[in-house]
């Protein structure tokens, strides 16, 4: 993958700011006012220091004895000075007159400072509020966009990735990205303003000393840039190990029953410790680089301050600048220039760490769904005739190891078709292809003569429902789980679907009824109850195509009987494809397709297939003998 620059990566983040540009304008204006007000505060240091020195000089002055004539002469001299000051004041520009008047006495300086107080308060409040409002909106937008981008991905995308990795990117990596956004909208935006303001003040107080500060800039930033690359490298590595850790923990808790059943707690704990150790090792390398960056910066800044004090003292003693100029210069340089540089250096290091998370989050945006609507895809209103497989072949990994090979058959409208065969024969793959979870490698699947790749997926899925062996229920109420079939259904329709699935009586027998939460993955329910909830969901959707993938294979006799009765209610009047393991459940089907090693070896109803010495009869008799035994 091509390495992206710091600017391009920051641009990716800032692209999310566009909808909030007005708020950012307000935030920027508030920052400018806040920075300018702080600059004015610092500029008042010069007149304060100079006046304090003048007052101190007058107090310590030893006056000689003088006669009345000398006193009169001094008064006349003072009067002359005041007249000269007035002439100079009159020649000043408007802004210069305001500045001269504002700094003419301690009282005036105090009044100016008091006026600045509410300005600083309001500017500080608004710049923080608007900035953080945009920042959090951007974080939410990024997380939402990641989810919106991931959900349309095909099943193969999720099957080929660790779920823990995706979870880590949505949590850990976005948290790191959030830190980067905070730095961008806080230090990276505010500190350059303070730096420029500080430099302007420094030049105002002493342009010669300011040039020395500018010359030192490359020395300050060079180690920051070098160490920043290391921080990003180690930060990305630590996030990868954190992703592995998240996946291992998720897997451990998901399979906690197996872990305990096989007494593997110690082994799983050892695995977590090993991954944590690798994460810590990578993280400490990043911490070392950040610490070296900070300490190097502090060393250079401290030396710089020492140099400024020495040079400043020299120029004051030589009379080239006043003590007020030196105090103002050191304050502007120390509290605005150097502080801003220190914060920028620290922010740069933290930003590089954050950009390692940005890389991993934005990497997801580059992955385009392999299954998407054709530009000329159509919407189907209803299914009039058949579903047809025409010379269809499919491989999950894109290789020549086909799961199904060159199969062709039709499913007529309203027909109940069963697909049977040994494990790995390709039965469930046919279901997945009809739902367009995958696309065929060769051949076509058509509905009423239209290739399903030219039918909008949303339209296709509206016409089909699936009930699988491994029923998935959300950790929500019965009502919400059933409503997943059709979100706009009424409560009466939900109850009607539950009754048809033979689960209504069980639900109403619970203290909270339909508002009862089923637990994670429906852990509070039996297998049969979970399956009937899934059937109720499909009944509520009421689609013309129904796909049943081993819907009763893992149930006991009582549960299977109830589920089968519910399925009979569901199947009525629908085009139904049943993938079955128990052949006793599909004898009533209109036709049965028998598959072996990815190919169709027989087609017919139960009676016709039993009348021949084929694969179906062999498997049926084997199952029958097993049951009898």
Length of the chain measured in residues: 629
User: How far is residue 514 from each of residues 35, 110, 485, 495, 507, measured CA to CA in Å?
Assistant: 59, 70, 15, 9, 6
Residue 78 has what pLDDT? 47
Question: CB count, 10 Å around CB of 318?
Answer: 8
> Which of 545-582 are b and which e, b meaning 16 or more Cβ less than 10 Å from the residue's Cβ?
bbbbbbbbeebeeebbebbeebbeebbeebbbbbbbbe
Question: CB count, 10 Å around CB of 43?
Answer: 19
Are 507 and 517 a contacting pair, CB within 8 Å? no
Residue 626 has what pLDDT? 53
The alpha carbons of the chain give a radius of gyration, in whole angstroms, of: 39
Helix (H, G, I), strand (E, B) or coil at 474: coil
Residues of the chain with pLDDT below 50 are 1-3, 62-78, 81-82, 84-85, 88-89, 627-629
Cα dihedral value 334, 335, 337, 340, nearest 10: 130
Kindly give the residue spans of alpha helices, DSSP state H, lying in 61-173. Answer: 68-91, 94-102, 106-150, 155-159, 163-168
**What is residue 64's DSSP assignment?**
P
**Burial label, 603 (beta-carbon count in 10 A; 0-12, 13-18, 19+):** middle
Helix (H, G, I), strand (E, B) or coil at 610: helix
Residue 98 has what pLDDT? 66
Residue 558 has what pLDDT? 64
Helix (H, G, I), strand (E, B) or coil at 496: helix
Q: Provide the sign of the torsion angle of the four alpha carbons 415, 597, 157, 580, taken in this order.
A: positive
What strand order describes the sheet that includes 450-451? 404-411, 387-394, 442-447, 450-451
User: What are the DSSP calls for 5-46, one per residue?
Assistant: PHHHHHHHHHGGGGGGHHHHHHHHHHHHHHHHHHHHHHHTHH
Q: How far apart are the first and last CA of the chain?
A: 60
* pTM given for the model: 0.67
Helix (H, G, I), strand (E, B) or coil at 420: strand
Residue 540 has what pLDDT? 87
Residue 224 has what pLDDT? 63
**Burial label, 161 (beta-carbon count in 10 A; 0-12, 13-18, 19+):** middle
User: What are the DSSP calls for 294-317, one per residue?
Assistant: HHHHHHHHHHHHHHHHHHHHHHHH
Q: Between vectors from CA 368 to CA 363 and to CA 371, what angle results, nearest 5°?
A: 150
Average pLDDT taken over every residue of the chain: 77
Residue from 142, 126, 120, 164 nearest 253 by CA: 164
**What is residue 363's DSSP assignment?**
H
Helix (H, G, I), strand (E, B) or coil at 247: helix
């Amino acid at each position: 993958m091509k390495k992206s620059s710091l600017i391009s990566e920051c641009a990716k983040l800032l692209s999310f700011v566009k909808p909030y540009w007005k708020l950012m304008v307000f935030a920027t204006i508030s920052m400018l006012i806040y920075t300018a007000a702080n600059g004015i505060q610092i500029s008042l240091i010069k007149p304060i220091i100079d006046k304090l020195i003048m007052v101190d000089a007058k107090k310590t002055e030893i006056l000689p004895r003088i006669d009345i004539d000398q006193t009169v002469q001094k008064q006349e001299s003072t009067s002359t000075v005041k007249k000269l000051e007035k002439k100079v004041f009159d020649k000043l520009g408007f802004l210069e007159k305001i500045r001269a008047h504002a700094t003419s006495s301690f009282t005036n300086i105090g009044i100016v400072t008091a006026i600045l107080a509410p300005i600083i308060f309001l500017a500080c409040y608004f710049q923080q509020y608007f900035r953080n409002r945009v920042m959090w909106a951007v974080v939410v937008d990024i997380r939402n966009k990641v989810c919106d981008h991931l959900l349309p991905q095909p099943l193969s995308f999720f099957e080929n990735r660790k779920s823990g990795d995706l979870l880590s990117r949505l949590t850990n990596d976005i948290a790191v990205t959030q830190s980067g956004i905070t730095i961008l909208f806080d230090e990276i935006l505010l500190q350059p303003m303070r730096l420029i303001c500080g430099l302007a003040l420094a030049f105002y107080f002493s342009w010669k000393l300011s040039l020395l500060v500018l010359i030192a800039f490359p020395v300050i930033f060079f180690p920051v840039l070098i160490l920043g690359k290391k921080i990003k490298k180690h930060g990305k590595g630590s996030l990868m190990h954190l992703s592995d850790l998240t996946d291992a923990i998720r897997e451990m808790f998901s399979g906690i029953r197996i872990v305990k059943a096989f007494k593997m707690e110690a082994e799983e704990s050892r695995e977590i410790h090993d991954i944590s150790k690798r994460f810590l090792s990578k993280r400490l390398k990043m911490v070392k680089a950040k610490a070296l960056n900070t300490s190097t910066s502090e060393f250079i800044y401290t030396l710089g301050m020492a140099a400024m004090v020495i040079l400043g003292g020299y120029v004051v003693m030589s009379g080239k600048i006043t003590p007020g100029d030196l105090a103002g210069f050191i304050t502007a340089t120390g509290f605005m220039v150097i502080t801003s540089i220190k914060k920028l250096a620290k922010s740069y290091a933290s930003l590089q760490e954050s950009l390692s998370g940005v890389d991993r989050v934005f990497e997801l945006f580059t992955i385009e769904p392999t299954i998407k609507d054709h530009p000329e895809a159509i919407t189907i209103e209803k299914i009039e005739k058949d579903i047809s497989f025409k010379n269809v072949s499919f491989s999950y990994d894109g290789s020549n190891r086909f799961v199904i090979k060159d199969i062709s058959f039709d499913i007529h409208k309203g027909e109940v078709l069963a697909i049977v065969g040994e494990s790995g024969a390709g039965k469930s793959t046919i279901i997945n292809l009809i739902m367009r979870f995958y696309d065929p490698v060769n051949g076509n699947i058509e509905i009423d003569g239209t290739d399903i790749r030219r039918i909008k997926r949303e339209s296709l899925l509206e016409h089909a429902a699936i009930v699988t062996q491994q029923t998935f229920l959300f950790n929500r109420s019965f009502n919400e789980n059933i409503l997943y079939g059709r979100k706009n259904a009424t409560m009466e329709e939900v109850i009607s679907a539950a009754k048809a699935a033979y689960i209504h009586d069980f639900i109403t027998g619970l203290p909270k009824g339909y508002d009862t939460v089923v637990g994670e993955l429906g852990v509070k329910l039996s297998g049969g109850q979970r399956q009937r909830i899934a059937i109720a969901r499909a009944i509520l959707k009421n689609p013309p195509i129904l796909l049943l993938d081993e819907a009763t294979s893992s149930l006991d006799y009582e549960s299977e009987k109830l589920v089968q009765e519910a399925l009979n209610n569901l199947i009525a009047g629908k085009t139904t494809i049943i993938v079955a393991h128990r052949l006793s459940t599909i004898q009533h089907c209109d036709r049965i397709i028998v598959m072996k090693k990815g190919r169709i070896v027989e087609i017919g109803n139960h009676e016709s297939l039993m009348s021949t010495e084929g694969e179906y009869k062999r498997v049926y008799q084997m199952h029958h003998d097993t049951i009898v035994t």
